[in-house]
Amino acid sequence: MKKTSTRLADGRELHYYDRRDDAVRDAVDRRPLDTISTSAEIRRDPLLGDAVAIASHRQERTYHPPADQCPLCPSGDGRLSEIPAADYDVVVFENRFPSLAGAEGRCEVVCFTSDHDASFADLSREQAALVLEAWTDRTAELAELPQVQQVFCFENRGAEIGVTLGHPHGQIYGYPFVTPRTELMLRSAAEHRERTGRNLFDDLVERERDQGVRVVLEGEHWIAFVPYAAHWPYEVHLYPLRRVPDLRALDEAARTEFPQIYLELLRRFDRIFGEGEPPTPYIAGWHQAPFAGAGRDDFGLHLELFTIRRTSGKLKFLAGSESGMSVFINDVPPETAAERLREVASE
């Protein structure tokens, strides 16, 4: 992998990740852009204790532009985009409309490929491996920023999820706090350690391997399963079999096998609902340990992948119980979901 760093016309950082070591990245952003000014701030809810990002400037972000005006495609044919180059492998740059900025954190955009009409599932294993390297490198760099306590690499896919740009891309959030979801996992892990003397993530993976009924697929270094108490109709958690706290700690064997496992998972998601169905909308995100604090060594890196589609033509909405009380109601038994995901395996 070769990394080349530069800046856009308004001062934002941009990083090219190339598979070829001889790639030359010297294109200059020629757009007449003003320096980015954001109004992002973090407010704490006094009742729940969680954090809310207030970011009114995001009302102006680009919304479903025509394909020939996509800001994530390479520049060319007289049109200048967010990426100055005429082509690229993987690109990461600071979000022009960040939810978190400055002392309040960091938001970045990850373009998986220059092909506007592709999806992550269409990538080759070599391309997917390069995305993993980019995620890892950004996690390492953001860990050095004093305002960032935790990094979340994720992809929103599909208009049903709320995606406003059709180009295959994801995002990276550098939070200035430990997120509520992670705090809950750390608390559960600490209680499990105190009660049993063992690691919660290790025991969870061991239980799923032993029972087998919810396992979707397993390699030499990764296991994917539908969790026992899945919140979403089709939800899969992907764990390395050697527990690590974050992406930086994955060994070469796990990195090498990851593209094969993950691409197969995404391709199965697109086959869940049968032939002729539109691409399955999903959210995929890496859960990594905070960079400091109690419980980091007990945390288990994992990726969570889920769809809000519950059956053909029907979505799972977060209505009264879910939105009002955070109590999920799942219409698809986890064992049934796992069986379906095994049925649609690639031949």
Catalytic residues: 169
208's tokens: 């799923």
Compute the distance between CA of residue 254 and CA of residue 240 in angstroms, rounded to an integer. 7
- 56-80 CB burial, b ≥16 within 10 A, e <16: ebbeeeeeeeeeeebbbbbbeeeee
Angle between helices 252-269 and 125-142 (to 10 degrees): 120
Cite the beta strand spans of the chain per DSSP E. Answer: 2-7, 13-18, 41-44, 51-54, 90-94, 106-111, 150-157, 169-175, 215-218, 222-225, 234-240, 282-287, 302-307, 309-311, 314-315
66's tokens: 């025509």
Compute the distance between CA of residue 186 and CA of residue 177 in angstroms, rounded to an integer. 14
Compute the distance between CA of residue 151 and CA of residue 123 in angstroms, rounded to an integer. 24
Of 111, 124, 117, 334, give the one whose Cα is nearest residue 228.
334
Amino acid at residue number 145: L
Report yes or no: 41 and 53 within 8 Å, Cβ to Cβ: yes
- 259-293 CB burial, b ≥16 within 10 A, e <16: bebbbbbbbbbbbbbeeeeeebbbbbbbbbbbbee
Q: What share of the chain is helix, strand, coil (3-state, %, to 5)?
A: 30, 25, 45
Distances (CA, A) of 245 to 22, 62, 336: 33, 35, 30
Distances (CA, A) of 176 to 80, 108, 296: 33, 14, 16
